[in-house]
C-alpha cells in the first residue's frame, strides 16, 4: 500500500511544476560529454519521462483508491506525456519478453522512488523526499544498493531540514536510528555493509559530497565537521612522526631508516640517510675493531641502508645507470663490512632475503650491461645461498637469471642444458613446485634449440606429467607438437596441437596451434574460422537490441536448465523460482535464514539492474548499443550511478554466493552483460574469464559473451586512428585490451596514460609525424580517447616498420622499449623463430604481455572475422 501523503506529493509534483521538471538536467549526463545544450535538454526530458514511467508502473500494485490518485496525476500531466509513458512501459515489456511480476514491479517502483527523492531534495521539498525514501526503506526484497541510495536520500533531506545541528556524530546517528532502525532497508544495509553506518561510512558512502551534488546541494559544514575523521596529529606516535635526523644514536638512526624502507619510501629514506651520514653518525659505530694493518672493518648499517634506499629510488625512477651504480656500491659495502641482522634493523629471515635479493639484482643489472661473467658469478652465488637456506623460491629466481639470461647468451644450448641439469639435482623443494615445472619447460626448449627433438619431446612429456594447470599444459602440448613435427611425425603433431587448444581455449598457444594445423584447435585458430554460424554483425545486432532471447530471455530458466527447470513455461514462476538460489539444488546449505535473505538480495540486485538498464534504454531511445553504453559510461545521473553501483555490488557478491565458477550461470551472464553495457570493461572482462570455458557449449545464446570478453568500444576513435596511421584496428584493440582494459583515464605507476598507455614524451614524438600541432601534448590531453588512440597507432606503426613487420618484436618494444629489444636481438643470434623469441624474453612481464597481445589480436580476428 502507498501512503496517502506520498501520493499527495506525486500529485503536487506532477502538476506541471516547471521548477521540479527542469531540475532533472542537474542529474543527467555531464554536459561536456553530451555536446550541445539542446542534446542535454533532450536527455533531461527523457529522464523525466523515465521517472514518470517508473511511477506509472507502480500503478499496477496500487489499491483502487490509490489508482484514483494516479488518475488525477495522469490528468495533471496531460495526455501527451501520459501516452509517452505508456508507450515506454510497453517497450520495456517487449524488451524483457515477459510481463512484470509483482517482485519486478516493486523493484522498478523503488528505483523510481529513489530518483524522485533526489528530485524532491533539489526542489527543497525535504519532507516529501524523506517520505519517498522511507517508502523504499520500508519494503522487503529490495536490493541492498537501492536501499543504500534510499538511505542516503533520506539522510540528506533530513540534514538539510534540521533546524539546528546535533552536538556530535552519536547524536546524529540516534536521530536516524530512532526513525529508520526498525525498517527493513536499514537492517539490510547494516547486514551487507555495517561499516557504512559508522562515521567513516557516513562520510565516504552515505553522505558524500557527490551524493549532495546529485541532489543539487552542498553538504553543510556542520555535517562535514561531524562525519569527517578528526585530525590525528595530536595522537601521532614517535614512529609516525618526522624522522629525527639530529639523533646522536646509531641504533635509532638504523631504526628510522628501516621504518621508511619497510614503507617503500625510498627517496625519503635516501634523504634521511644522507642527513645522518653528514653528521658523521657512522663514527659512533667504529669502522674497525683494531688499528693498524690488521684492522677488521665492521658494519655501518646507516651507510648500507642509505645506499639501498638510493638504489631503489633510482630503480623506481626508471634510472637504470644510477640503479647499477648504487647497487654495486650497496653490495660492495655489504661484502666489505659483514653485518648481523640486528645491525641493519632486520630479523634473521628478512636479512637473509635482503642479502640474496641484493646479489640477484646486481646480477640482473650486470647482465643488462653485457657483463655476463660477473652477472653469472653473482647469480650463482645467490643460488647457492638460497639452496643452503632452503629458500626454493629464491633458488628459482636465481636459476632463471643463470639459465634464462646469462647461460642462454654466453653458452651453447648443450652447456646451458648441463647447467640446468646441475641446478635440478641441487633442487630439494616439494614435488611439483614451480622450479620443477620451470626446469622441465626450459629443458624442452633448450633441447629443441639444440635440434635434439627426441629429448625435447621427452622433456615436454615430463612437464605434462607434472602439471595440472591448463595454461602450462597448453604450452607443453604446443611445443611437444613442434618437436614431433620436426621429427616428421605429422599425425602425432596434429593431435598435440589440438590438445593444446583444448587445454586452454582462447589462449596464446591455442592460437598458435590452430594456425599450424589450419583447423579449429580448441576455439581460437585461424582468421577463416569464427565462433558463429552466421555473420557476426547479425549476431551482435540481435543481442544489443535487447529483444527476445538476446539477452534478456536469460530470465527464462529453460534456456539453461531444459524443460525440467522449475517453473519452466511460466514467466512469473521462472522469475520467482528458477532464478532464485532457493531452487538451485543447494538444499541444506541454505537452511540459514540470514543466508537465504542475502542470496535473495543478491538476485534482486541482478534483476533490478536489468530492469533499470531496460528502462534507461527505453527512455533514452538511442539507436545503437554504442550510444547507449556511451551515455551510461559518461552520465552523472542518479539512474546511471545507481545502475553502476548495483552491477558492481552484484559482481563482487557473486563469488560470495556461488564461488569463482559458473554454478549459477544465469546470474553470472546477466552481471557480465550489465558491466559491459556500463562500459566497465575493467570489471566485465575478468568476470567473463571466470567462466569462459562455458563458451565451448554449442549454444547460440552464449555467443554474445565473446563480444563482452573481447569488446570493441570507442569505435570511431580506433577506426580513425588505424586509418590515419595505417595500422590494423584489431591490433590497436589487442594492445589497448592488455594495456588499460579500455580505461581512458588510467595512469600506470610509471606515468603512462590512457587507453594505449603512453608517456607524454612518446606521444609528442610520434604525433609530430602526423603533421598536426601536437608539440605540447600534456598528460590531460592523453586522457582523450581520440588523441590517445592516434598516438598509440602511430607508435605501433613506427615499431612495426623498425622491426620489419615482426609483430612479436614490435609488441615487445611497445612494452619494454626499443633499446631493450635491440639489445636482446643483438646478443641472441638464436632467435630467428618469432615464437621461440617470445619464449626467451628475459623480462617475465614483457613475455606475458607479448603473448597476451598476440592472443588478443588473433581472437579479435577470429570473433570479428570476415564471415
Residues classed as catalytic: 739
Q: Taking phi first (over 0 means left), then psi (-120 to 50 degrees means alpha), and beta for anything else, what does residue 125 get?
A: beta
Distant-in-sequence, close-in-space partners of 826: CB < 8 Å, separation ≥ 6: none
Q: Return the DSSP state at 609.
A: H
Residue 195 C-alpha cell reads as 561499516
**How buried is 373 (Cβ within 10 angstroms: 0-12 exposed, 13-18 middle, 19+ buried)?**
exposed
**Per DSSP, what are the bridge partners of residue 747?**
753
**CA angle at 493 for the pair 487 and 498, rounded to the nearest 5°:** 165
Q: What is the largest CA-CA distance in the chain?
A: 107
Compute the distance between CA of residue 681 and CA of residue 683 in angstroms, rounded to an integer: 5
* Distance (Å, whole) CA 716 – CA 649: 31
Question: b/e for 560-598, b at 16 or more Cβ within 10 A?
Answer: bbeeebbbbeebeebbbbbbbbbbbebeeebeeeeeebb
On the question of a cis peptide bond just before residue 657, with omega within 30 degrees of 0, the verdict is no
What is the CB neighbour count within 10 angstroms for residue 710? 21
- How far apart, in whole angstroms, are the C-alpha atoms of residue 70 and residue 109? 14
DSSP string, 330-343: HHHHHHHS---GGG
Asked if 756 and 735 touch (Cβ cutoff 8 Å), the reply is yes
**Cell digits of residue 66:** 490509490
Q: How far apart are the first and last CA of the chain?
A: 55
With b for 16 or more beta-carbon neighbours within 10 A and e for fewer, the 205-221 pattern comes to bbbbeebbebbbbebbe
Query: How many whole angstroms separate alpha carbon 351 and alpha carbon 163?
Result: 62
Determine contact, residues 400/379, Cβ cutoff 8 Å. no
What b/e sequence results for 45-78 when a residue is b if at least 16 CB atoms lie within 10 Å of its CB, and e otherwise?
bbbbbbbbbbbbbbbeebeeebeebbeebbebbe
CB distance 468 to 460 below 8 Å: no
- The dihedral over CA atoms of 510, 515, 518, 523, expressed in degrees to the nearest 10, equals 30
Is the Cα torsion angle 765, 766, 769, 772 positive or negative in sign?
Answer: negative
Compute the Cα dihedral for 311, 312, 313, 319 and give only its sign: positive
Query: CA nearest 560: which of 657, 401, 668?
Result: 668
Amino acid at each position: 500500500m502507498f501512503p496517502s501523503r506520498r501520493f499527495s506529493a506525486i500529485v503536487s509534483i506532477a502538476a506541471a511544476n516547471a521548477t521540479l521538471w527542469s531540475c532533472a538536467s542537474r542529474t543527467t549526463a555531464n554536459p561536456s560529454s553530451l555536446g550541445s545544450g539542446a542534446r542535454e535538454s533532450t536527455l533531461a526530458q527523457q529522464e523525466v519521462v523515465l521517472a514518470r514511467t517508473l511511477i506509472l508502473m507502480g500503478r499496477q500494485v496500487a489499491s483502487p483508491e490509490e489508482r484514483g490518485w494516479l488518475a488525477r496525476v495522469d490528468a495533471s500531466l496531460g495526455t501527451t506525456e501520459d501516452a509517452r509513458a505508456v508507450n515506454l512501459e510497453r517497450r520495456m515489456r517487449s524488451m524483457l519478453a515477459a510481463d512484470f511480476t509483482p517482485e519486478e514491479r516493486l523493484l522498478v517502483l523503488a528505483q523510481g522512488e529513489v530518483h524522485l527523492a533526489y528530485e524532491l531534495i533539489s526542489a527543497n521539498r525535504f519532507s516529501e523526499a524523506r517520505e519517498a525514501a522511507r517508502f523504499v526503506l520500508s519494503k522487503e526484497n529490495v536490493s541492498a544498493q537501492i536501499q543504500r541510495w534510499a538511505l542516503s536520500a533520506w539522510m540528506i533531506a533530513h540534514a538539510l531540514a534540521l533546524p539546528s545541528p546535533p552536538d556530535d556524530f552519536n547524536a546524529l546517528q540516534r536521530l536516524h536510528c530512532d526513525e529508520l532502525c526498525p525498517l527493513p532497508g536499514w537492517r539490510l544495509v547494516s547486514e551487507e555493509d555495517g561499516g557504512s553506518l559508522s562515521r567513516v561510512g557516513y562520510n565516504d558512502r552515505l553522505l558524500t559530497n557527490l551524493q549532495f551534488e546529485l541532489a543539487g546541494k552542498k553538504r553543510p559544514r556542520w555535517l562535514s565537521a561531524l562525519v569527517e575523521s578528526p585530525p590525528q596529529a595530536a595522537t601521532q606516535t614517535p614512529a609516525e612522526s618526522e624522522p629525527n635526523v639530529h639523533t646522536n644514536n646509531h641504533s635509532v638512526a638504523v631504526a628510522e631508516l628501516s621504518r621508511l624502507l619497510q614503507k617503500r619510501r625510498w627517496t625519503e629514506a635516501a634523504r634521511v640517510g644522507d642527513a645522518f651520514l653528514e653528521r658523521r653518525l657512522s663514527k659512533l659505530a667504529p669502522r674497525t675493531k683494531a688499528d693498524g694493518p690488521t684492522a677488521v672493518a665492521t658494519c655501518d648499517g646507516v651507510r648500507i641502508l642509505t645506499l639501498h634506499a638510493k638504489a631503489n629510488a633510482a630503480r623506481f625512477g626508471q634510472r637504470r645507470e644510477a640503479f647499477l651504480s648504487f647497487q654495486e656500491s650497496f653490495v660492495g659495502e655489504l661484502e666489505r663490512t659483514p653485518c648481523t641482522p640486528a645491525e641493519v634493523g632486520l630479523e634473521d629471515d628478512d636479512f637473509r632475503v635482503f642479502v640474496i635479493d641484493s646479489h640477484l639484482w646486481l646480477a640482473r643489472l650486470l647482465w643488462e650491461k653485457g657483463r655476463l661473467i660477473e652477472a653469472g658469478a653473482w647469480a650463482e652465488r645467490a643460488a647457492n645461498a638460497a639452496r643452503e637456506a632452503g629458500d626454493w623460491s629464491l633458488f628459482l629466481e636465481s636459476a632463471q637469471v643463470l639459465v634464462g639470461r646469462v647461460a642462454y647468451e654466453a653458452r651453447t644450448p648443450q652447456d646451458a642444458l648441463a647447467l640446468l641439469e646441475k641446478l635440478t639435482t641441487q633442487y630439494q623443494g616439494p614435488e611439483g613446485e614451480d622450479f620443477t615445472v620451470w626446469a622441465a619447460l626450459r629443458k624442452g626448449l633448450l633441447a629443441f634449440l639444440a635440434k635434439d627433438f627426441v629429448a625435447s619431446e621427452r622433456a615436454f612429456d615430463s612437464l605434462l606429467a607434472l602439471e595440472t594447470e591448463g595454461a602450462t599444459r597448453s604450452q607443453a602440448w604446443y611445443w611437444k607438437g613442434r618437436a614431433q613435427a620436426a621429427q616428421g611425425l605429422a599425425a602425432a603433431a596434429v593431435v598435440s596441437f589440438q590438445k593444446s587448444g583444448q587445454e586452454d581455449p582462447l589462449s596464446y598457444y591455442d592460437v598458435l596451434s590452430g594456425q599450424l594445423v589450419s583447423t579449429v584447435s580448441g576455439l581460437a585458430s585461424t582468421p577463416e574460422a569464427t565462433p558463429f554460424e552466421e555473420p557476426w554483425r547479425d549476431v551482435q545486432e540481435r543481442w544489443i537490441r535487447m529483444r527476445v532471447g538476446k539477452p534478456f530471455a536469460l530470465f527464462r530458466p529453460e534456456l539453461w536448465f531444459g524443460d525440467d527447470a522449475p517453473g519452466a513455461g511460466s514467466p512469473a514462476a521462472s522469475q520467482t523460482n528458477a532464478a532464485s538460489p532457493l531452487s538451485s539444488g543447494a538444499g541444506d546449505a541454505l537452511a540459514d535464514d540470514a543466508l537465504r535473505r542475502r542470496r535473495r538480495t543478491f538476485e534482486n540486485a541482478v534483476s533490478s539492474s536489468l530492469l533499470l538498464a531496460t528502462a534507461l534504454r527505453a527512455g533514452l531511445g538511442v539507436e545503437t548499443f554504442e550510444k547507449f553504453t556511451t551515455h551510461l559510461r559518461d552520465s552523472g545521473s542518479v539512474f546511471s550511478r545507481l545502475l553502476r553501483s548495483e552491477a558492481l555490488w552484484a559482481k563482487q557478491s557473486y563469488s560470495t554466493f556461488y564461488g569463482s565458477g559458473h554454478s549459477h550461470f544465469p546470474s553470472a551472464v546477466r552481471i557480465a552483460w550489465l558491466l559491459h553495457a556500463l562500459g566497465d570493461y575493467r570489471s566485465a572482462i575478468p568476470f567473463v574469464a571466470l567462466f569462459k570455458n562455458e563458451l565451448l557449449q554449442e549454444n547460440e545464446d552464449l555467443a554474445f559473451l565473446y563480444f563482452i570478453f573481447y569488446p570493441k568500444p570507442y569505435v570511431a576513435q580506433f577506426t580513425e586512428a588505424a586509418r590515419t596511421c595505417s595500422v590494423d584496428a584489431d591490433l590497436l584493440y589487442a594492445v589497448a585490451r592488455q594495456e588499460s582494459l579500455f580505461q581512458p583515464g588510467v595512469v600506470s605507476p610509471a606515468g603512462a596514460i590512457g587507453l594505449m598507455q603512453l608517456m607524454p614524451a612518446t606521444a609528442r614524438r610520434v604525433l609530430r609525424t602526423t603533421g598536426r600541432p601536437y608539440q605540447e601534448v600534456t598528460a590531460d590531453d592523453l586522457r582523450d580517447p581520440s588523441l590517445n588512440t592516434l598516438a598509440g597507432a602511430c607508435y605501433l606503426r613506427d615499431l612495426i616498420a623498425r622491426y620489419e613487420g615482426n609483430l612479436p618484436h614490435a609488441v615487445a618494444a611497445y612494452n619494454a622499449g626499443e633499446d631493450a629489444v635491440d639489445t636482446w636481438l643483438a646478443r641472441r643470434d638464436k632467435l630467428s623463430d618469432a615464437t621461440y623469441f617470445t619464449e626467451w624474453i628475459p623480462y617475465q612481464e614483457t613475455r606475458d604481455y607479448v603473448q597476451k597481445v598476440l592472443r588478443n589480436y588473433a581472437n579479435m580476428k577470429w570473433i570479428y572475422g570476415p564471415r
